[in-house]
Amino acid sequence: MLDPHLLRGQLADTATRLKASRGFELDVAGLERLEAERKQIQTRTQDLQNLRNTRSKAIGLAKTKGEDVAPLLAEVAGIGDELKASEERLEQIRAELEAIALRIPNLPDESVPAGADESANVELRRWGEPRQFDFQVKDHVELGAREGWLDGESAARLSGARFTVLRGPLARLHRALAQFMLDLHVGEHGYLECNVPLIVGADSMRGTGQLPKFEDDLFAIRVGDSRRYLIPTAEVPLTNLVRDSIVEAEALPMRLVAHSMCFRAEAGSHGRDTRGMIRQHQFEKVELVSITRPADSDAEHERMTRCAEVVLEKLGLPYRRMLLCGGDMGFSARKTYDLEVWLPSQNTYREISSCSNCGDFQARRMQARWRNPETGKPEPLHTLNGSGVAVGRALIAVMENCQNADGSISIPEVLRPYMAGQERIG
């Protein structure tokens, strides 16, 4: 959620920036009308409260003097009726303003390039050279289907489209990737490993920005009388650990990592990547989350992105780092780096990690604060999240980049301890 001062004191400028950077149309006239009414009714409410208090004291004084208090009682009753109506309207206006604010995306950082879509993203650097094959490369579906290790047909019978069954050494390789990433981030990068719920309430989804705008992309379930959601990423429960709390300065930065299932309806994918495991309703990810002081979040963003890059470098997977333009960034982000891994079968780079600095945007929605030692007062903290990395897409990249002419797959050296020393499968 944006700083309320931007919507009250700098509304026109904020609307211009959102239009230019995000293509987002802010209803300035509607907000101004609601804000003017809020101020008017808030002032009237306060006046009525003061008047009721004054008249109540007058009733007490009149009673001690034995005077007739009926007129005063009637006046107080009338004030009470008007006050109740005024308070109800004030609460209604505040709810309308909050509903609007919850649908406004974050403002991009000044360093974010302008642009409407991914064509305006900026490549910052590359690592590794794509392998030159002396045989016809296969995609991950062909490589996995040969031994029945990657089975989309069985998954479709079980659950429908965009699900996959993994078997045998390919299932083990998938597990090995997740274990390797966790050990790396905990042992070398200093993250605290967490195991988080896969089902959360609406407040958690609202806190990180999935609700209300992206409800169609979520899987919802009914638990008793409440509506709950399957997490689209471990970012949601990890970040919400600081919701409605004040974190002491010495506890920052908080660096958290979790391996979890993720569930996405992919409502906006429009038939893209229907083949194989690129875009699934259910997938696994190792997620990085940092909670920091505002002054430290830019440096933490660079550090987090570097932690994700190390995963790909240790696996020997060529990749590039992209700085996303305003129109291609996520709703809650103020700055995002995407890491894109080379996929030989597509002869291009595909996203495998997205690392975002959300500034205080999520913190304001969650009421997550830290105590500034200089002022002694609670202030919104900064939140960051990143894939460290997507396990399924890492599996695809290893399969395709490490394939051999006979259809076998060489196992990257860092994964062999997790694969009982095997050097290849197939």
Residues 335 and 192 in one domain: yes
Q: What is the mean pLDDT of the chain?
A: 96
Residues 64 and 209 in one domain: no
- Amino acid identity of residue 413, one-letter, is E
The residue from 345, 369, 393, 400 that is catalytic is: 393
Residues 205 and 86 in one domain: no
Q: Give domain status of residue 14, yes or no.
A: no
Cα–Cα separations (whole angstroms), residue 365 to 196, 238, 346, 355, 380:
20, 15, 40, 20, 10
Rounded CA-CA distance 416/315 in Å is 11
Residues 61 and 200 in one domain: no
Q: Which segments are annotated as binding site for L-serine?
A: 233-235, 264, 287, 385, 387
pLDDT for the residue 199:
98
Q: Give domain status of residue 170, yes or no.
A: yes
Q: Give domain status of residue 188, yes or no.
A: yes
Nearest to 356 by CA among 102, 26, 106, 21: 106
Q: Which segments are annotated as binding site?
A: 233-235, 264-266, 287, 351-354, 385, 387
Q: Give domain status of residue 216, yes or no.
A: yes
Q: Give domain status of residue 193, yes or no.
A: yes
At a CB cut-off of 8 Å and minimum separation 6, what does 231 contact? Answer: 196, 197, 198, 199, 200, 237, 260, 261, 262, 263
Q: Which domain holds residue 379?
A: 118-425
pLDDT for the residue 272:
73
pLDDT for the residue 273:
79
**For residue range 6-51, what is the model confidence (pLDDT) as tens digits?**
999 999 999 999 999 999 999 999 999 999 999 999 999 999 999 9
Q: Which segments are annotated as binding site for ATP?
A: 264-266, 351-354
Q: Give domain status of residue 390, yes or no.
A: yes
pLDDT for the residue 71:
86
The residue from 44, 279, 364, 416 that is catalytic is: 279
The residue from 264, 334, 365, 369 that is catalytic is: 264
Task: Tell whether the model's pLDDT for residue 83 goes beyond 70.
Answer: yes
DSSP symbol at 324: P
Task: Tell whether the model's pLDDT for residue 369 goes beyond 90.
Answer: yes
pLDDT for the residue 142:
97
Give the long-range contacts of residues 145-149, CB within 8 A, separation 24 or more. Answer: 146/407, 146/426, 147/426
pLDDT for the residue 270:
63
At a CB cut-off of 8 Å and minimum separation 6, what does 240 contact? Answer: 200, 203, 204, 207, 208, 366
Strand partners, 353: 339
DSSP symbol at 403: B
**For residue range 174-226, what is the model confidence (pLDDT) as tens digits?**
999 999 999 999 999 999 999 999 999 999 999 999 999 999 999 999 989 99
Q: Which of 39, 70, 102 is the last residue of a domain?
A: 102
| Mean pLDDT of all residues in 160-184 | 97
DSSP symbol at 411: P
Residues 43 and 176 in one domain: no
Rounded CA-CA distance 119/36 in Å is 41
Residues 189 and 306 in one domain: yes
Residues 374 and 402 in one domain: yes
Residues 98 and 32 in one domain: yes
Respond yes or no: is residue 313 known to be catalytic.
no
Residue 311 CB-density burial (10 A; 0-12 exposed, 13-18 middle, 19+ buried): buried
CATH code for the domain of 31: 1.10.287.40
Q: Which of 102, 137, 155 is the last residue of a domain?
A: 102
Residue 284, both tokens: 């696994």
- Degrees (nearest 5) of the Cα angle 114, 116, 121? 60
Domain count for the chain: 2
CB-facing half-sphere around the CA of 162: CA atoms within 13 A:
18
Rounded CA-CA distance 223/56 in Å is 48
Cα–Cα separations (whole angstroms), residue 108 to 114, 330, 332, 353, 356:
9, 10, 9, 19, 11
- Of the chain, the percentage scoring pLDDT greater than 90 comes to 92
Q: What is the SS3 assignment for 384?
A: strand
pLDDT for the residue 291:
98
Respond yes or no: is residue 320 known to be catalytic.
no
pLDDT for the residue 64:
87
Respond yes or no: is residue 302 known to be catalytic.
no
Residues 133 and 202 in one domain: yes
| Helix 391-401 / helix 168-187 crossing angle, nearest 10 deg | 120
**For residue range 231-274, what is the model confidence (pLDDT) as tens digits?**
999 999 999 999 999 999 999 999 999 999 999 998 666 667 77
Strand intervals (E) in 293-363: 319-323, 335-343, 348-357
* HEC readout, 118-144: HHHCEEEEEECCCCCCCCCCCCHHHHH
Provide the 10 A C-beta neighbour count for residue 297: 23
Q: Which of 102, 136, 169 is the last residue of a domain?
A: 102
Respond yes or no: is residue 354 known to be catalytic.
yes
pLDDT for the residue 218:
97
Respond yes or no: is residue 351 known to be catalytic.
yes
Q: Give domain status of residue 109, yes or no.
A: no
Q: What is the SS3 assignment for 377?
A: coil
Residues 164 and 46 in one domain: no
pLDDT for the residue 268:
63
Q: Give domain status of residue 111, yes or no.
A: no
pLDDT for the residue 69:
86
Residues 49 and 146 in one domain: no
The model's pTM: 0.93
pLDDT for the residue 217:
95
Rounded CA-CA distance 204/365 in Å is 10
